[in-house]
Amino acid sequence: MIELLRATVFHTPERAIESFADGGLLICDGRIAACGDYTELRATNPDIAVRDLRGGYLLPGLIDTHVHFPQLRVLGGMGRQLLDWLEFVALPEEARMSDVTYACDTARRFVRALASHGTTTALVFGSHFKAATAALFRAAQGSGLRIVSGQVVADRALRPELHRSPADAFRDCTELIHEFHGRGRLLFAVTPRFAVSASEAMLEVCQTLLNEHEGLRFQTHINENELERAEVARLFPWAQDYFAVYERFHLTRPGAVMAHNVHTSDSELERLAATGTSIAHCPCSNAMLGSGIFPLRRHIDAGVHCALGTDVGGGTGFGILKEALQAYALQRLAPDGMLLTPGHLLYLATRAGAQALQLEHETGDFTVGKSADYIYLRAPEGSPLEAVLERAESPDRILSALFTLAGSESIADVRVAGEAVRDDA
């Protein structure tokens, strides 16, 4: 199956943006065969079918590197900071995932929400319950999305029904790894919630899982909030800082993604960079939970790899475009903020996520040979976005309009490996 798509094309094969106003994307058996000017691609491929999508925009599928599936229904909680919000808002809902029917329904809605916002790849916090986490993997499998996820493991500091002993957590995770890791587009991520809720024995289990199975990813939270940091310092008196807790158990590595890192030291940044550990920057959540403004410039200067996460349900929804816009806006306000360009935003929303997840060989841009994971954006008729785009003449102007105004209503098509994401989960 070979097909040539014709539309305006944007992607970031390097950090800088590459765009084709009258662009072509040649797709062969679900892979990118070429990306360039339509007329040139047409000249060398005169006989193949063309899908004329002029009037809209082709972007790589968006990548969310931090999102919680059991928190769909707590979106929009206001007025609390992290630890209170967890106790009174998020964790009561997470406890409801012990009901498998409820968890299956949530998983289906969650996967649908990712797709409808243009997210084709996500690193997802599963549930504390094995059956609910399996429900998420099955819903993901049914949809065709690329999902990296894992059962959340904790043995203290939460509600008792969310705790598992290290031995039970090890058994549950091992079973899930055998059932789902490496199946189709699914991967398993070892997922201790955060250092506050993990004993040393539990962190050791995480280390063992990573050692025993090839290709697992790792995710957790770090340095989000001052009270959380004080609690970590109290619980791990031997640790020089928060990052040192994860270091001690060799959980810091390429393919490890730690969310937030708002309150961090220069030493931690240096060690994050040296170990190839990535940070999921979640600016909507940082603002909603009053966590603070992310020191992006310090991360970049130290060479720490950063991508974007929506942090549903601490954040404000599933849109990675909106998340990028929030990153832009908060950097405008930060005393030492960076002036992010539309090209930076596109990189953060796509290829940076693929790099964080070690999926760069497969997705994140339109380099020849990668999977044809793309979204097609088109302004709804009569919308402000349509009006702005009528006057937008440069690639930067078009992209900045899309980041500012394109919500899920502007996402007309979502494909993974050239196939429409399915709603039969």
Binding residues for ligand GUN, rule: CB under 6 A, are 68, 82, 86, 90, 193-194, 221, 224, 285, 311, 314
Q: How far is the CB of 141 from ligand GUN (least distance, A)?
A: 24
Nearer to ligand GUN, 68 or 415 (CB): 68
**290/318 Cα distance (integer angstroms):** 19
Q: What's the min distance (Å) between Cβ of 313 and Zn ion?
A: 9
Instruction: Give Cβ neighbours of residue 188 (< 8 Å, ≥ 6 apart).
Output: 148, 149, 150, 173, 176, 177, 180, 181, 213, 216, 217
Q: Is residue 373 within the footprint of Zn ion (CB under 5 A)? A: no
Residue (285 or 410) nearer to ligand GUN, CB: 285
Smallest separation, CB 211 to Zn ion (Å): 25
Q: Is the peptide bond before 36 cis (omega within 30 degrees of 0)?
A: no
| DSSP E strands, 314-406 | 374-377
Nearer to ligand GUN, 120 or 133 (CB): 133
Residue of 311, 323, 365, 373 that binds Zn ion (CB under 5 A): 311
Q: Indicate which of ligand GUN, Zn ion, none lies near residue 86 (CB less than 5 to 8 Å, by partner kind).
A: ligand GUN
DSSP states of 87-136: IIIIHHHHHGGGSHHHHHHHHHHHHHHHHHTTEEEEEEE--SSHHHHHHH
365 binds Zn ion (CB under 5 A): no
Least distance CB 289 / ligand GUN (angstroms): 6
Nearer to Zn ion, 154 or 385 (CB): 154
Binding-site string for Zn ion from residue 201 to residue 240, where x marks contact by CB under 5 A and - marks none: ----------------------------------------
CA distance 162 to 339: 42
Told to check if 64 binds Zn ion by CB under 5 A, we report: no
List phi, psi (to 5°) of 305.
Answer: -75, 130
User: Between residues 89 and 399, which has the closer beta carbon with respect to ligand GUN?
Assistant: 89
Task: Specify the 3-state DSSP secondary structure of 148.
Answer: strand
Instruction: Report the residue number, 128 or 185, with the smaller CB distance to ligand GUN.
Output: 128
Query: Which residue type occupies 219?
Result: Q
194 binds, among Zn ion, ligand GUN, none (CB under 5 to 8 A by kind): ligand GUN
Structure tokens at 127: 């549930």
DSSP for 56-77, written as a single string: EEEEEPEEEEEEEGGGGGGTT-
* Least distance (Å) between residue 222 CB and Zn ion: 10
DSSP 192-260: E--GGG--HHHHHHHHHHHHHSTT-EEEEEES--HHHHHHHHHH-TT-SSHHHHHHHTT--STTEEEEE
Min separation Cβ 110 and Zn ion, Å: 14
Nearer to Zn ion, 311 or 373 (CB): 311
Q: At its nearest, how many Å lie between ligand GUN and the CB of residue 72?
A: 12
Q: Where does this chain bind Zn ion (CB under 5 A)?
A: 259, 311
